A = this chain, B = another copy of it.
């Protein structure tokens, strides 16, 4: 049964304060919850329709509390405009080991604010085989419901760390190439990327901060098609730019 207390507790997890306090987050919808059930995340409870539970019985651990609810009851706990069969309460994982950019390519997010952008970046990173994302401490929270939703389950397969990025960059700046997405530097389509390094993506409106810029070894840009025209956009969307750079980094390696 879905109690008033359940509803209150679940909805509180839309706020970072309560996610931090309870070390829990919300994930919703058939696709994302199925991916979670197959991952090493610990699912504390599931609120789902009878049909969904019957169809997915084999995936559900006996330790997990299962609450059968009606589709219209989902509305009272869902963070989505169109609730979709199932909502999971999941234990937050704490990552302590920062990735080594001498071994593989790492994406570093400098103050990404929009949850849809971070989620989309995680989804694209998964597609292009980036296993680690390092976020500045003032990036939007990974466990924000909108980040989880936009990542479409890809957050289950990636390590996302929040850290003091300047300390991290300082440790690796002489060992790994630190590429930064700017509107100047080298044309990304003509750049020979190495097999490992750090790719830095900056804030949606301000780009890479001047402090972070000190650690960039190589500035790269995504060329506009008609640079000469009087009016052109200032920038691409941050998640679009990140995906394009990750794609070119990986495909350059495949072709070489």
Contacts and interface: CB of A to CB of B under 8 A. Distances in A.
Interface of A: 35, 38, 116, 120, 123-124, 126-129, 150, 152-154, 156-157, 189-190, 222-226, 231-234, 236-237, 239-240, 243-244, 247, 250-251, 254-255
Given A35-B231, A116-B116, 5 more contacts: A123-B236, A128-B224, A190-B255, A243-B244, A244-B244
Contacts of A232: 126-127
Contact of A120 (B38, B234, B237): B237
A47 to B, nearest CB: 23
A20 to B, nearest CB: 22
A225 B251 CA distance: 8
Contacts of A234: 152
Contact of A225 (B128, B224, B255): B128
Contacts of A153: 233
A215 to B, nearest CB: 25
20 contacts: A35-B231, A116-B116, A123-B236, A123-B237, A124-B236, A124-B240, A126-B233, A127-B233, A128-B224, A129-B224, A129-B225, A150-B237, A152-B233, A152-B234, A189-B255, A223-B251, A223-B254, A225-B250, A237-B239, A243-B243
